[in-house]
Structure 1
Amino acid sequence: MAEIRVLLVDDDPLVRSALAHFLTREEGTTVVAEAGDGRDALDQVGRHRPDVVLMDVRMPRMDGIDATAQIAQRWPDVRVLAVTTFDTVDTVLPMLHAGASGYLLKDSPAEEIVAGVRRVHEGTTSLSPRIAALLVEHVRERERPTSAASPDLEPLTDREGDILRCLARGMSNAEIAAELIVSEGTVKAYLGRIMTKWGVRDRVQIIVAAARAGLIAFT
């Protein structure tokens, strides 16, 4: 298993210590640096080039949303996983739009956060159940599903549409492969095609783009 190099970003040193404690107990995971705000996080990413950044949202000098946007632009291979106490639409959506690959709450079990680091490193999505439910409710209230593709998004093939609907149900690559009776490699290939068509970088951004266009209904 390849080593996952992690940067911890939180303005509370006790939170950083707690995260470091259980992350370093996980074989194959190393905390390479810590930062107390978004500006310091950018310096540390440039210096250490971590694989995954655990990012708080609200911090002094530069918040996690601005820092995430700059990381996504300057270091697109670095994945950001939000770990915060804030669970409202006005924090979740901007963080995901900025480029975060996942959003977990600090009251999540330690093993869920460790698993979240692993998932975003592998290029998949990690959302706390409460956050997933929040997104579902937001889409149901704000979006009007349509049968045609948004003019801003390139239309998907039938099979790509199947993949998208599975994503909306929160399925992993393995679950999608079993559902559609294809290999995981095929699922990854289709996801890559959707990302290229829509100009997005990961599974979370596919879901956000589709929800904004009203192309998916969550079940």
Structure 2
Amino acid sequence: MKKALVVDDHPVVLAAVSLVLEREGFKIIYKASSVGEALSILRQNEIDLAIVDLSLSDGEGISLIERITASDWSCRVVAFTALDPSIFQERCMRAGAMAYVAKTNDLSQLQKAVHAVKGGYTFFKQLSSGPQDPGQRSEKAMIDNLSTRELAVLRCLAQGMTNKAIAAYMNLSVKTTSTYTTRLVLKLGVQSKVFLRDFAQRNHLI
């Protein structure tokens, strides 16, 4: 493996991750701060490994992971994010990522993940399956039942974005975004769109 891509919209993170990749022997390291920029780099270069954040300025990292792994690019993916692994790790696995590392960890964990993935291994945290509050367990089941796009719309709504802003961000029509919002209210069993933010915060989705 020689070429890597770091996809993150924080300059400090880009610099820190690049140092980790250099220690792991990568000679060429590309940097992207958005989904569009990342896809452009991937189309023009043979990237061996991509480190992808899940919250980007123009789209969701999980969707980018899905596009990378569904393509004919021979690129392995590591998810590197501040989002709660109990909600997002399994989704990243299903999307095709080979590792999931929380940004709250020491960078040595990211280096271990990169080393494992280089060798063809996966690197995922073993999540606790101990007793949970019944209400929380029920809400997690509802979240697990959401599609990747529904979850993305929920996170946008929870951050205070309007349907029009979400439509522009996710390249959807306003009508489609409104349909997703209505579907979320029904699927999550809340009284109205207003309560979606509380639901998202309670379950560490933002």
Calculate the TM-score normalised by the size of structure 2. Answer: 0.58
1:29 aligns with 2:29: no
1:133 aligns with 2:127: yes
Specify every segment of 5 or more residues in structure 1 that has no aligned partner in the other structure, as ranges: 143-219
Other-structure match for 1:81:
78
Change (3 A) 1:31 1:126: farther
Counterpart among 56, 63, 68 of residue 66 in structure 1: 63
Residue 126 of structure 2 aligns to a residue in which SS?
helix
Calculate the TM-score normalised by the size of structure 1. Answer: 0.54
CA apart distance, 1:103: 0.2
Contact kept, 8 Å, 1:4 with 1:121, in 2: the verdict is no
Other-structure match for 1:15:
13
The CA RMSD measured in Å over matched residues stands at 2.3
Other-structure match for 2:46:
49
Aligned-pair identity (%): 24
Task: State how far apart, in whole Å, the 2-side matches of 1:27 and 1:114 are.
Answer: 7
Task: State how far apart, in whole Å, the 2-side matches of 1:77 and 1:30 are.
Answer: 17
Change (3 A) 1:48 1:76: closer
Task: State how far apart, in whole Å, the 2-side matches of 1:77 and 1:137 are.
Answer: 37
Residue type matched to 2:96 in 1? G
Kindly report structure 1 stretches of 4+ aligned residues shifted beyond 6 Å. none
Aligned length: 133
Residue type matched to 1:8 in 2? V
Residue type matched to 1:63 in 2? E
Residue 132 of structure 1 aligns to a residue in which SS?
coil
Task: State how far apart, in whole Å, the 2-side matches of 1:97 and 1:55 are.
Answer: 15
Contact kept, 8 Å, 1:32 with 1:50, in 2: the verdict is no
Cα deviation digits, residues 133-153 of structure 1 (max 9, x gap): 25x569xx79xxxxxxxxxxx
Contact kept, 8 Å, 1:81 with 1:117, in 2: the verdict is yes
Contact kept, 8 Å, 1:6 with 1:52, in 2: the verdict is yes
Residue type matched to 1:91 in 2? F
Cα deviation digits, residues 62-116 of structure 1 (max 9, x gap): 2110100000111352100001111243322222211111101113222321221
Other-structure match for 1:159:
none
CA apart distance, 1:31: 4.2
Task: State how far apart, in whole Å, the 1-side matches of 2:63 and 2:43 are.
Answer: 16
Specify every segment of 5 or more residues in structure 2 that has no aligned partner in the other structure, as ranges: 132-136, 139-206
1:113 aligns with 2:107: no
The 5 Å alignment of 1:173-188 reads none
The 5 Å alignment of 1:190-205 reads none
